Structure 1
Amino acid sequence: MAKGFSVTDILGGQSKPTAPAGLKMQVVMLPAADIEPNPENSIYEIGDVSMLKADIAERGLRSPLEVLPAQNGKYMLLAGHRRWTACRALTAEGVAGFEVLPCVIRQSQGEDDDLIALITSNATARELTDGERLRQYIALKQALERKKAAGDLNGRVRDEMSRITGDGTGTLGRLNAIANNCVPEVLAMVERGEITMTRAYECSKLYKVQQVTYAKNNYAPLPEASDEIQKAAILYIVDEGMADQLRGLDYVQCCEWNYADGGKFDAQKMQTVTLDMTDNVANAILRIAPAGRSSFTVEQLDPADQNEVIAKSCIYSSQLYRTARSRYIDKKALEKYKAEQKAKKDAERTRQDEDEKWQALARRELEAFDSWPLVTRLKDLGLTIRERKMADSGRLIIAVDDLARFPGHVDGFQYSECFAVRIGPNGERAGRDGDINALEWYKRWYSTGAAIENYIAEDIKRAAMKQEG
């Protein structure tokens, strides 16, 4: 027989209890097969009892089980589920001495008190897992709240919970936040040991739509509001929330990026508003609030709990532009602006046509470059230098590499490379525009490339204007 309680010591050789059931600390021996686990003990995990089983096999069961009378002559465990499980395992393995077990029979005080008694026996008996602590907290709180409502509990529920579990108010507060605010999926993750209590507490501070993603990734931005939601918010802001300010802005000469500049637009002057749009295309409850001088937040609320946000987006003043412009543009100013723009385009088109005329004359001149007055030809170097008289009576000297001549006919200048220098009316080097006071570096030979055509066109134009003027 293993060490521990002796049947003859307790029962005087009898196998049935001799003390009245429920007598305080009256230890009796009961058949282990007549003892059933308590369904409420599902709060706790039996876990691995191998070490406990070895200890009981060596030293015996040193603490009695606590049981409640059940139906059909059976008893239901109140405390000692792990010890009972270990003893049953020993019996199944053929170890003698654990067919009957020492027990204290308690009388039921009611479902809630029996549950509280079960929790009391487990709360500080061993280190609980996070899942056990959470299930224990929920079950104990519910039981105590029912007793409080029935007038059977004096004082605060939290104080009684702290007394029973040994947890401080901070720990109980975190457990309460998790139990009340976390979605079932997160609670299940705690119970399965997939996340810590700390992670679950962080989840409890978030909106429900964020929690599962945050629990898995430690990061969970709110989903973006749908296009329909954002359109509905824009319509409200334009038509009501910011109508007075938007009505006075310039939609004619400004675009979406600058129409709200200049201090005439301040989103912060709009009051936060909650809109029930469940009957229109948005089919949602929205909360719209300013988020700075030029932006707003739009939150889609859960119709079942308006403290819960299920989507969120930011709306900027640029997104209001099209709708606001269609509402508030000054049509007379728009017509005037269109007329002015047309006049500018016409003038620009005339200028371009005029410029093309000078360009065509310049191309014609440059096409005949080989007929320009020859300054010199350096045959051994393959250079040809020719000149053109300019409108200021000065000269444009152009040097070309004979080998840089395009093969075949080219419309305009026949050479791919050229260098030029400007000579003023006084015969001295001048700036490229004929300025005799230009700095020396501006009077040096310079590469003109394709720009030579524009250069000649400008001089033809100046000559024509001089002749007209």
Structure 2
Amino acid sequence: MKSSAKNISLNSYDDIFSTEETREDEKREKVTDMPLSELHPFPDHPFQVRDDDSMRETVDSIKEYGVLVPAIVRPRAGGGFELISGHRRKHACELAGLPTMPVIVRDLDDDAATIIMVDSNIQRENILPSERAKAYKMKLEAIKRQGARTDLTSMQVAQKLSVEKVGEDAGISKDQVRRYIRLNELSPQLQQMVDDKKIAMTPAVELSYLKPEEQTLLLDTIESEQATPSLSQAQRLKNFSQDGHLNEDSMLAIMSEEKKPEKNDLTLKADKLQKYFPKSYTPQQMEQVIIRLLDGWQKKRQRDQER
């Protein structure tokens, strides 16, 4: 058992503490100790509950302090209550041998419940790409349905605003949201390879455009060649597929090519940077400032990770 809260990981803090705004909301709502047997998982919950070091720390914390932030639940059609947030806390309570946990009951429709479920989990550490992919898609579809009910002027506008909203809430760009959502088009086996870091994110997005039968053929080719596609190979596979020329022979030819080292160069255009600097600054001076700021950012991240 941990004797001090400072040894708790960030994931554990997510399970114990909440934002000031959330705590204020919870003070205004009734908290009920509910039997764990009455709590059921959210349908198609995209986030795995893992028995890892973070879970063990959460169990120790709950044994010592209890569950300080109630879970959020809603009445369930089949009886009992459906967890919206608190899946990890419930599992930790089970491991800690507790029969109940504190919850707040809210009357939420499916879309509102989905959005809260995603938002309450998406900022965790160590979320797998496939988990993000499914979560972003679920939230996007929920927001689009909400937008349709409020009679937005056009479906195109509604979709654009929805993607931007998902990205804004997650702290990423709308293009990153779209890339993650594309991973849902991969077969489960290829998604697992992305989660296992055997296939990088960018090549995986390209491979998501392959037809299901082509993805099955790719898995066989990966096994026979004992190699996964590079970005350039994934792009060629996508192009061959779109041209209707991807078959066993062409795929093998692409996958058996010697891989060229992928370029990792990053170029920032001067016109994008200039607005942040005095007009008199030279490119060398701008570079020095950027490096200095990045050094400060890295040190802050290291301090945050050590807390």
Normalised TM-score (structure 1): 0.38
- Corresponding residue of 2:295: none
Partner Cα distance (2:115, 2:125) in 1: 17
- Corresponding residue of 1:454: none
Contact 2:164 2:173 in 1 (8 A): no
- Corresponding residue of 2:104: 104
Q: How does 1:184-203 map to 2 (within 5 A)?
A: 185-190=189-194, 194-203=198-207
- Corresponding residue of 1:47: 50
Partner Cα distance (1:146, 1:72) in 2: 24
1:106: how far off? 0.8
1:139: how far off? 2.0
Contact 2:84 2:116 in 1 (8 A): yes
Contact 1:53 1:90 in 2 (8 A): yes
Partner Cα distance (1:300, 1:35) in 2: 49
Name the amino acid aligned to 1:64. P
Contact 1:137 1:175 in 2 (8 A): yes
Q: How does 1:54-65 map to 2 (within 5 A)?
A: 54-65=60-71
1:123: how far off? 1.1
Matched, 1:67 2:77: no
Contact 1:37 1:81 in 2 (8 A): yes
Partner Cα distance (1:194, 1:56) in 2: 36
Name the amino acid aligned to 1:168. S
Relative to structure 1, the CA distance from residue 71 to residue 183 in structure 2 (aligned partners, 3 Å threshold; closer, same or farther) is closer
Contact 2:39 2:82 in 1 (8 A): yes
Task: Return the structure number with greater helix share.
Answer: 2
Relative to structure 1, the CA distance from residue 192 to residue 112 in structure 2 (aligned partners, 3 Å threshold; closer, same or farther) is farther
Contact 1:130 1:196 in 2 (8 A): no
1:183: how far off? 5.2
Name the amino acid aligned to 1:133. R
1:170: how far off? 3.4
Partner Cα distance (1:53, 1:214) in 2: 40
1:67: how far off? 0.8
Contact 2:59 2:96 in 1 (8 A): yes
Q: How does 1:162-177 map to 2 (within 5 A)?
A: 162-177=167-182
- Corresponding residue of 1:81: 87
Partner Cα distance (1:51, 1:35) in 2: 22
Partner Cα distance (2:145, 2:70) in 1: 30
Contact 2:198 2:228 in 1 (8 A): no
Relative to structure 1, the CA distance from residue 187 to residue 151 in structure 2 (aligned partners, 3 Å threshold; closer, same or farther) is farther
1:145: how far off? 3.1
Q: How does 1:367-446 map to 2 (within 5 A)?
A: none
1:309: how far off? 3.5
1:205: how far off? 6.6
Unaligned segments of structure 1, at least 5 residues: 1-21, 92-97, 224-298, 314-469
User: Which structure would you say has the larger RCO, counting Cα contacts within 8 Å and 6 or more residues apart?
Assistant: 2
Partner Cα distance (1:172, 1:309) in 2: 30
SS of 1:103's equivalent in the other structure is strand
Partner Cα distance (1:120, 1:178) in 2: 19
Contact 2:133 2:182 in 1 (8 A): no
- Corresponding residue of 2:164: 159
1:104: how far off? 1.0
1:152: how far off? 6.3
1:300: how far off? 8.4
Question: 1:230-267: CA deviations, max 9, x gaps?
Answer: xxxxxxxxxxxxxxxxxxxxxxxxxxxxxxxxxxxxxx
Contact 1:24 1:106 in 2 (8 A): no
1:158: how far off? 0.7
Question: 1:109-137: CA deviations, max 9, x gaps?
Answer: x2222112211111114331122112212
SS of 1:44's equivalent in the other structure is coil
SS of 1:66's equivalent in the other structure is strand
Relative to structure 1, the CA distance from residue 101 to residue 184 in structure 2 (aligned partners, 3 Å threshold; closer, same or farther) is closer
Question: 1:288-328: CA deviations, max 9, x gaps?
Answer: xxxxxxxxxxx987xxxx65442498xxxxxxxxxxxxxxx
Contact 2:130 2:195 in 1 (8 A): yes
Relative to structure 1, the CA distance from residue 141 to residue 191 in structure 2 (aligned partners, 3 Å threshold; closer, same or farther) is farther
- Corresponding residue of 2:135: 136
Relative to structure 1, the CA distance from residue 46 to residue 184 in structure 2 (aligned partners, 3 Å threshold; closer, same or farther) is closer
Normalised TM-score (structure 2): 0.55
Relative to structure 1, the CA distance from residue 193 to residue 151 in structure 2 (aligned partners, 3 Å threshold; closer, same or farther) is farther
- Corresponding residue of 2:112: 113
Question: 1:150-171: CA deviations, max 9, x gaps?
Answer: 4467671111211332222232
1:44: how far off? 0.6
Contact 2:130 2:184 in 1 (8 A): no
1:143: how far off? 2.5
Relative to structure 1, the CA distance from residue 111 to residue 60 in structure 2 (aligned partners, 3 Å threshold; closer, same or farther) is same
Contact 2:122 2:170 in 1 (8 A): yes
Question: 1:91-112: CA deviations, max 9, x gaps?
Answer: 1xxxxxx32321111112x222
SS of 1:87's equivalent in the other structure is helix
Contact 1:141 1:157 in 2 (8 A): yes
- Corresponding residue of 2:145: 146
- Corresponding residue of 2:267: none
1:214: how far off? 6.6
- Corresponding residue of 2:29: 25
